[in-house]
Structures are given as C-alpha cells and as structure tokens.
Amino acid sequence: MNAQEMYAQLGISPAVLNFGESVLQGVKDQFERIDAIAEYNQAKVIGAMQKNRVNATHFNISTGYGYDDEGRDNLERVYADCFHTEAALVRPQISCGTAALALALGANLLPGDELLSPVGAPYDTLEEVIGIRPSPCSLKEYGVSYAQVDLKEDGSFDYDGIRKAISEKTKLITIQRSKGYATRPSFSVAQIGELIAFCKQCKPDVLCMVDNCYGEFVEELEPTDVGADMIVGSLIKNLGGGLAPTGGYICGKKACIDRCAYRLSAPGLGKEVGANLGLLTAFYQGLFLAPTVVSSAVKGAVFAAAAYEKLGFRVVPTSREVRHDIIQAVELGSRDGMIAFCKGIQSAAPVDSYVTPEPWAMPGYDSDVIMAAGAFVQGASIELSADGPIRDPYAVYFQGGLTWYHAKLGILMSLQKMLDAGLITL
Ligand SMILES: *Cc1c(COP(=O)(O)O)cnc(C)c1O
C-alpha cells in the first residue's frame, strides 16, 4: 500500500493530501532550520548526560523519604548542565507548571517584597497564585505585592514604564517567554536577555525568573544563557518529551533553588527528601527525546500556519516567522470552523480518536470552550491538542505532536473536516 492509500484509509482524501503536499513544499527551508536547532539541542542533552556519567543505577526506584537517591540528584545535575545553571530541582512532587511557578515565587519572595511583571498580564493560572484574583494562600495573602507594566501597543517592552516600576521593594521580576493563550507576541531568548540586562541595570540584585513553559528547545539558547536567575516549567510540556507522566522543574542560581527545595519539602530538609517513585527512566529518556519531540511540534505549528494562511485565514504567528514557542493560533472565524478543526485533531489521535469534541461551559470562562486531545498523559499539551473559547475571533490554539507525522495527520484531518463541512474549498 502506498502513502496515499494509507492516508485514504485514515479518512484523508487525495485532494486534501495533495493540498498538504503543496503547502509542505513552501516550508522546506523552515523545516531545515528547525532540524538544525534540534540537532544542536540533542547534542547539548547528550553532552550533559555524558558529563554526569549517567548509568543504569540512576534509573532505580526510591520510595519513602527518598534519602540518598543518586538517580534523582544526578538528573538534577544533568538539567543544571543542560541549562548552564548552578543547580536544578526536577521532581514528580512538582505536579504541573503552575505548581512550579508558585513554588519558585513563594520560595523567593518574602512579606514586604514586590513581584513585577514587565510583560503584561501573566498566564491565567498565575492570577490566583499572585492574588490578582483573590485566593487562599496567594502571595498577596502573605504580604507580597504585585506590579505590572503592560507591553506597548506594538508588543515591545515599555522600558520607561519598567524603570519607573522598579522600586526598593521590587525583589523578583517574572517574564513569560511564551504568549500562552494571549494575543501578544512570544519573546525570543535574545529579547528576554535584553529585558533582563535592562532590569539588572536598574537594580543589580533583582532576581529575574522566566516562565519557560512551551519555549524549551525551540531555540538554541535558553533564558539562563542570557542572565535569568531561574527558569521554570512543566514536564508534561516540552522537557518531558512525552514520556514524563507528571512533574516540573526549576533551574537556576543555587541560592534560589535551595530555597525552592526548602519550600517544596520543608525548611532544613530541602533536596535531601523526595522519592522518585520509579519515574526516573521516563524523566531521563524524556529529556533525551525532548529536542526531536519539540522540533516535531514546531514543524506541526509551521505546517498548520502555512496551510490555513493559504486558505485565507489569519494565523499567529505566520508560517514565515521565526518561532519562539510551540503554540499556533488559527482564527477560523466561526463556531463551525472551530468545531470542524477540533474534530479533525481528535480523530487523528492515537487515544480517544472515536470521541467527538463539543463546545462546553468551563469554570473560569465566560464563553463555551472546545478542546481536542487524545493523549497518553492526561492534559499533556506536548501531545497534539487544540482548544479555544467559542467567541470572536474564533481562534483555536494548536500545539504539540510527539512526532511530526502525527502532527501532519492532525492538520490534514482538520482540513478534511473543514472541507466536508463546506467551510473551505481546495
Ligand atoms: C502551561 C503554562 C503554564 C501553566 O502550566 P500548567 O502545567 O498548565 O499548570 C504557565 N505558563 C505558561 C506560559 C504555560 O504555557
């Protein structure tokens, strides 16, 4: 059976397949650049593993207190070397990205300190962590204040505003690398480096933390290469490589990481406790696979942008823009478009492919939300997934794909569903 017949069996018509192939011709150079970055990052990961003499004993399970867990401690050295930091905390006890961010903030801010975001509003879930939306145990409840400087109209940093906002009280500056589900641009590592340099010029001892979610391995440099004191993220996104079933990481200055460890376990105990529960093989191997997994996701995002752009839809970023994270927004312009797109992604999944996504009311949203995901790890957004609120401009946010071919199938399937619904013509 040839590829066309195989795709036909999966429900992709020759018209959609041919359209997809013609789109691909136009992004070949982008794919070459993405492959070169993956190759660089693969070497970086292998180098860090070799330097720390990773061997089979590092995959052993620890239980209970997890004392003398050499595999866990060595994984943290691998992370630290990979991201060129003094220390790292990589634990299954950090249950998600928000938990990792809350940990890094809570551990390094004391009553009377101020947290500053110079890049506008932070990711949704951080509003409760910070106390922008009141919540028990928020930073605000503990006497940590918050200041924010919005980006300028054109998406650039408001340096004057930032200089004015940095005060005696400013202890920590949080910078979100990926736009997440907002409409602002994502920042390159070089841009983040300029911002950090400016902040440190204004106040040399201020701590700069980067929310690195969705950005890891998309470029050759990471924020810790350009002055960040801490980077923070989730293992069910980029760095878990699809294999980590849970977890989060923080890499950075030893003083910051030690405080995070005290906060995670208990003052005095710190990094010494924390059983690995048998997850270390997945963490090591996931990190090993992460460069190619991330490159697959980025290729999927570029392909989606090129395909929908060609059909006249607005896409952010465009297919020609250099990528800083794995997220692709496609403005489908209608409720039906969003449903068809998400049905396509769902029906291309290895898990739950027979399920039909429907718009539904979700807590915390003022409009219905539609989500498509068929993942091995619940909610893992490094796996192929799409979602968005059903409201103008009817944009779906698309991300992930553990393999490029799966991401490609997902996009082809979305095009097929759009075609079948009469929403596009090829
Ligand atoms: C996903 C994400 C988070 C939160 O991570 P969760 O694992 O969903 O808790 C925070 N910031 C950004 C930019 C993200 O993309």
The full DSSP string for 139-150 is: TGGGT-EEEE-P
Triad 193, 196, 202: Cα angle to 5°: 145
Cβ–ligand 1 contact at 233 (below 6 Å): no
Tokens of 104: 């890094």
Cβ–ligand 1 contact at 216 (below 6 Å): no
Mean pLDDT value across the chain: 96
Half-sphere exposure of 74 (CA within 13 A, CB side): 20
Least Cα distance to 308 among 335, 337, 336 occurs for: 337
Rounded to a whole number of angstroms, the CA Rg of the chain reads: 22
Q: What is the pLDDT of residue 184?
A: 83
Is the pLDDT assigned to residue 82 strictly greater than 70? yes
Cβ–ligand 1 contact at 178 (below 6 Å): yes
- Closest ligand 1 atom, residue 179 Cα: 13
Q: How confident is the model at residue 364 (pLDDT cuts 50, 70, 90)?
A: low
Per DSSP, helices labelled H in 137-223 are 159-165, 189-202
Place of tokens 């492919």: 353
Cβ–ligand 1 contact at 211 (below 6 Å): yes
Are 416 and 9 spatial neighbours (Cβ–Cβ below 8 Å)?
A: no
Average pLDDT over residues 14-36: 97
Ligand 1 mean position to 123 CA, how many Å?
7
Ligand 1 mean position to 347 CA, how many Å?
25
Tokens of 228: 């960040």
Task: Give the span between the Cα atoms of 269 and 297, in whole angstroms.
Answer: 38
Are 231 and 223 spatial neighbours (Cβ–Cβ below 8 Å)?
A: yes
Triad 411, 122, 375: Cα angle to 5°: 35
Q: What is the pLDDT of residue 30?
A: 96
Ligand 1 mean position to 3 CA, how many Å?
37
- Closest ligand 1 atom, residue 236 Cα: 7
Ligand 1 mean position to 213 CA, how many Å?
6
Q: How confident is the model at residue 77 (pLDDT cuts 50, 70, 90)?
A: very high
- Closest ligand 1 atom, residue 123 Cα: 11
Ligand 1 mean position to 399 CA, how many Å?
13
Number of helices followed by number of strands (H, E) in the chain:
12, 12
Is the pLDDT assigned to residue 399 strictly greater than 70? yes
Q: What is the pLDDT of residue 279?
A: 98
Q: What is the pLDDT of residue 367?
A: 86
Tokens of 43: 């070497």
Ligand 1 mean position to 97 CA, how many Å?
5
pTM, whole model, 2 decimals?
0.96
Cβ–ligand 1 contact at 138 (below 6 Å): no
Average pLDDT over residues 360-387: 90
Is the pLDDT assigned to residue 329 strictly greater than 90? yes
Is the pLDDT assigned to residue 341 strictly greater than 80? yes
Enclosing H/E stretch for 231: strand 230-234
For a mutational test of ligand 1's pocket, the pick from 103, 105, 124, 125, i.e. the residue with the most ligand atoms closer than 8 A to its C-beta, is 125
Are 114 and 147 spatial neighbours (Cβ–Cβ below 8 Å)?
A: yes
* Cis peptide bond upstream of 317, omega within 30: yes
Tokens of 136: 């028990």
